[in-house]
Structure 1
Amino acid sequence: MAKTPLFSLFHTISLISLLLIIQSPLATSHTLNPLPITLSVTDFGASGDGLRYDTAAIQSTIDACPDAGPCRVTFPAPGNYLTATVFLKSGVVLNVEPGATVLGGTRLEDYPKESSRWYVVLAENAMNVGIGGGGTVDGQAGKFVVREDPRKNVMVSWNQTGACSGDECRPRLIGFVGCNHVEVSNITLNHPAYWCLHMVRSNNIRIEDVGIYGDFNIPNNDGIDIEDSNNTIINRCHIDTGDDAICPKSSTSPVYNLTATNSWIRTKSSAIKLGSASWFDFKHFLFDNITILDSHRGLAFQIRDGGNVSDIIFSNINISTRYYDPLWWGRAEPIYVTTCPRDESSKEASISNILFINITANAENGIFLSGSKRGLLRNLRFINMNVTYRRFTSYKGGLWDYRPGCQGLVKHNTAGMMMEHIDGLEVKNVEMRWSNEQEQPEQWNNPLEFRPSTVNNVNFVNFNSGFYTNSKPSL
């Protein structure tokens, strides 16, 4: 579909301005010495045989680095370096060579007493830290499986420690907590038992050329979680995992200035998800040139805790979504924008000024836009979109998925765009195509489904909906 010249100009200016806002703090960051000290963990006694723990040798190498660095701690190849938690300090970058692997320990005693510090690699209150080198960090998630289940594996839970509760008491893979100037690049992160790459209360972050590969049947193995952290760039990442792939969260403070570009994602949950931890605001995000394949949900907002969302752009994105087992949140929505209180004690928040432009989607379900009575969706724009709907799995449709909290799973008519509690919606140059094949499990060819009393200020320009036959969309 042709783009309007004025809007294209406005869009280009907006993207450039936002990129400048996001990247400027990184451009002025402290420059590392181009000739850092290099220390090898094998010189400090690491065996790299994958059987004996190399924790003491690795930590001794890190501790031998000069205060504030710069220092490169190298893991030579070939080698499998089994370790309990190791702690980075300022100026230290781990350099895992191609052919070398850092293996996370699987025993409870391998991790600190506090569950908040359960990581294989952890940096706390450090500057100019990171990890790279072309090698691999592996969390050995398979050893945390209590029982394999075709719907969702049952996992180890260390809640008997009292450090945490529920079924998510497992170690994360890599964490940067309270850090400034973080770089994670040219590294493969495999088999996290829980969240994979976690940025917490950190600032000026670059994540580039990172591959994340998690078991598709392991719950909670998120790819990248940006929690209470700001000025983040994610670029050229490949994420293939069971749970949310890129997930900003605001637990203790706002999250702003995040850009993610040129990446590939597959997940049994949401490819990009804002929330569900959303106590504080999200603002100034850009997601551009991203491919989402065979995911349970594409672009998602799960705002449940009172934090507002504004000024978010999704552009040049190809999406394919499909149903998986209902145990996993998501019902194959290519776009999912929701705000509702998690429970009776939660505040209602608004989502405003959201732009979706140049989006192509093949999906088993429609676009779901759901505000709440005191938490409206405002000024949503869908420009230049082509959406194809076709059922091809046997999972049950006809459900609106509000999880977590809110109304849970609700039986409801399915449509191309499902809407409630909206004030300000622009749909321009959007085409919906519907399969007319006989094997469709239910009729669901209604382009729009909404309660008129809750949806106001709607503008449709060049909106088309129709059947197609004898052509199955590529997925």
Structure 2
Amino acid sequence: MGFSLLIRSIFLTLLFSLVQSRSYTSPPNIKLPGDSLTLSVTDFGATGDGINYDTSAIQSTIDACNRHYTSSSSICRVTFPSGNYLTAKLHLRSGVVLDVTESAVILGGPRIEDYPAETSSEWYVVVANNATDVGITGGGAIDGQGSKFVVRFDEKKNVMVSWNQTGACLGDECRPRLVGFVDSRNAEIWNITLREPAYWCLDIVRCENTSVHDVSILGDFNTPNNDGIDIEDSNNTVITRCHIDTGDDAICPKTYTGPLYNLTATDSWIRTKSSAIKLGSASWFDFKGLVFDNITIFESHRGLGMQIRDGGNVSDITFSNINISTRYYDPSWWGRAEPIYITTCPRDSSAKEGSISNLLFVNITINSENGVFLSGSPNGLLSDIKFKNMNITLRRWSNYSAGLVDYRPGCQGLVNHSATTGIIMEHVNGFSVENVNLNWSDDDDLNSAWNVPLQFRPSTVNNVSFVGFNSRLLHKFV
């Protein structure tokens, strides 16, 4: 191992150990029991022709594998040979690994009758519910056929089908998720492509010990609610070496019914028309002990975000070794190209104000059309935030009005601050800067768009420290 790699390995080990020392539960250690049996879906009658539904054959294979696991405590693989396997909702059982081979595709059905008459939150193409020792792998793909849910294609934001007219659900988000792990333990998803979800792609709900690695998530860039990975009320989750290219939030921890601890995401590439990493906006309970390291965020609408709207608190979060480029796409999507967006405010008059504390941003490189936005609320302060070893370059890529800040959802909506600001702060107690360079492009009129490096009022911002903060103009060379 080279010296630089050794130093990096030591750094990551110390960083992970530090976070775990603050946490409540042990880190993930996914080691599924050894394989002892492989069953092919074609032996149970699946055709793989992409026209006829193979749901019954696939589910029968899964159930047979589960019976083997129950009797032997050994993992059983359900293998998909070359083909396109059209299916309605599938239930992944304990002790079963779906082995979708490289030339095989599981196709989610596009009809409402493909998803049983349950609540819309239980609509998935593949779901493991109350399962243990489960996995998905094989090098192939699971495809939600999301294009079949588009009512009207739009270059800015597609209009999607809504099944609320049937009375099955409310609102415009009545579409099936692609893959879900719900109330499950010891789940592993690796070497698989998840593509074209109609709604959220990979949903991890109230789970313990989940590993997601070497996964490609390919959504439609113009489809709303096309989230990459949503982690809800789950502990001990590791995401690494993933490629996420999608229309909505890429990695999105949420707390609906309980706290979320010990999430680590590393070595990944992200492009999205919304937030690359976002805590919230569902935030009724606490987030604690999260690490995001060695991540590239490419031309996304927003970079690192927190939308704390429901009274939960955030603490002990580290963002390290991250390259961020953000650009403005369209006002129909939340965000104005903010590379870092940290906010607390009540969702509505009945919501509580949560707090955010102890955030570390270290070794961050930013190229953006907008500045950093740090906005607490009177009873939901941001505290103990540190920026260390950061390079921020502000440069215009698109044509939009300068100075708009997006507080949505809730809060104040879009607010005009007149000029693009390098760092905006409000309701902050404890902000320190160490070795931060703020670079300004002179591509535009400096007097109207790019002339405010820092903006804060002492009445709402306290305990600020700047050591090695530099602001300079980058001249364009022809």
Q: TM-score, normalised by structure 2?
A: 0.94
Q: Is the 8 A contact 1:19 1:259 kept in 2?
A: no
| Aligned residue type for 1:42 | T
| Cα separation, 1, equivalents of 2:384 and 2:158 | 40
Q: Displacement, 1:164?
A: 2.0
| Cα separation, 2, equivalents of 1:11 and 1:451 | 37
SS of residue matched to 2:459: helix
Q: Displacement, 1:444?
A: 1.8
| Cα separation, 2, equivalents of 1:9 and 1:429 | 22
Query: Percent of pairs identical after alignment?
Result: 67
| Aligned residue type for 2:453 | P
Q: Displacement, 1:24?
A: 4.3
Change (3 A) 1:399 1:190: same
Runs (5+) with no aligned partner, structure 2: 1-8
Q: Displacement, 1:446?
A: 1.1
Change (3 A) 1:282 1:61: same
| Aligned residue type for 1:427 | V
Change (3 A) 1:23 1:50: farther
Q: Is the 8 A contact 1:22 1:259 kept in 2?
A: no
Q: Is the 8 A contact 1:400 1:412 kept in 2?
A: yes
Q: Is the 8 A contact 2:27 2:262 kept in 1?
A: no
1:343 aligns with 2:348: yes
1:55 corresponds to: 55
2:454 corresponds to: 448
1:415 aligns with 2:421: yes
Q: Is the 8 A contact 1:23 1:233 kept in 2?
A: no
| Aligned residue type for 1:465 | S
| Cα separation, 2, equivalents of 1:214 and 1:137 | 12
| Cα separation, 1, equivalents of 2:475 and 2:166 | 58
| Cα separation, 2, equivalents of 1:121 and 1:416 | 44
Change (3 A) 1:281 1:107: same
| Aligned residue type for 1:43 | D
Q: Displacement, 1:192?
A: 0.5
| Cα separation, 2, equivalents of 1:439 and 1:344 | 40
2:112 corresponds to: 108
Point out the more displaced range, 433-442 or 264-273: 433-442
1:354 corresponds to: 359
The partner residue of 1:137 within 120, 129, 142 is: 142
| Cα separation, 2, equivalents of 1:471 and 1:232 | 46
1:213 corresponds to: 218
Point out the more displaced range, 31-40 or 125-134: 31-40
| Cα separation, 1, equivalents of 2:10 and 2:33 | 40
| Aligned residue type for 2:422 | G
- Give matches, 1:317-332, under 5 Å: 317-332=322-337
- Give matches, 1:29-428, under 5 Å: 31-65=31-65, 66-68=68-70, 69-77=74-82, 79-114=83-118, 115-413=120-418, 414-428=420-434
Q: How big is each residue's C-alpha offset from its partner over 1:404-432, in whole Å with a ceiling of 9 and x where there is no partner?
A: 11111111132000010000000110000
Q: Displacement, 1:130?
A: 1.4
| Cα separation, 2, equivalents of 1:380 and 1:199 | 29
Q: Is the 8 A contact 2:20 2:27 kept in 1?
A: no
Change (3 A) 1:153 1:139: same
Q: Displacement, 1:67?
A: 4.1
Q: How big is each residue's C-alpha offset from its partner over 1:312-333, in whole Å with a ceiling of 9 and x where there is no partner?
A: 0000000000001010011101
| Aligned residue type for 2:473 | F
Change (3 A) 1:230 1:438: closer
| Cα separation, 1, equivalents of 2:361 and 2:139 | 34
| Aligned residue type for 1:58 | I
Q: CA RMSD in A?
A: 1.9
| Cα separation, 1, equivalents of 2:449 and 2:190 | 47
| Cα separation, 2, equivalents of 1:440 and 1:36 | 67
Runs (5+) with no aligned partner, structure 1: 1-7
1:437 corresponds to: 443
2:14 corresponds to: 13
Q: Displacement, 1:11?
A: 8.7
| Cα separation, 1, equivalents of 2:10 and 2:84 | 52
| Aligned residue type for 1:150 | E
Q: TM-score, normalised by structure 1?
A: 0.94
Q: Is the 8 A contact 1:433 1:465 kept in 2?
A: yes
| Aligned residue type for 2:89 | T
Q: Is the 8 A contact 1:364 1:389 kept in 2?
A: yes
| Cα separation, 2, equivalents of 1:134 and 1:117 | 26
Q: Is the 8 A contact 1:200 1:229 kept in 2?
A: yes
Q: Is the 8 A contact 2:396 2:443 kept in 1?
A: no
SS of residue matched to 1:458: strand
Q: Is the 8 A contact 1:140 1:191 kept in 2?
A: yes
Q: Displacement, 1:215?
A: 0.6
SS of residue matched to 2:148: helix
Q: How big is each residue's C-alpha offset from its partner over 1:225-253, in whole Å with a ceiling of 9 and x where there is no partner?
A: 00011100000000000000000000000
The partner residue of 1:26 within 1, 19, 28 is: 28
| Cα separation, 1, equivalents of 2:178 and 2:372 | 33
| Aligned residue type for 2:92 | L
| Aligned residue type for 2:45 | G
Q: Is the 8 A contact 1:303 1:339 kept in 2?
A: yes
Q: Displacement, 1:299?
A: 0.3
Change (3 A) 1:110 1:262: same
Change (3 A) 1:251 1:391: same
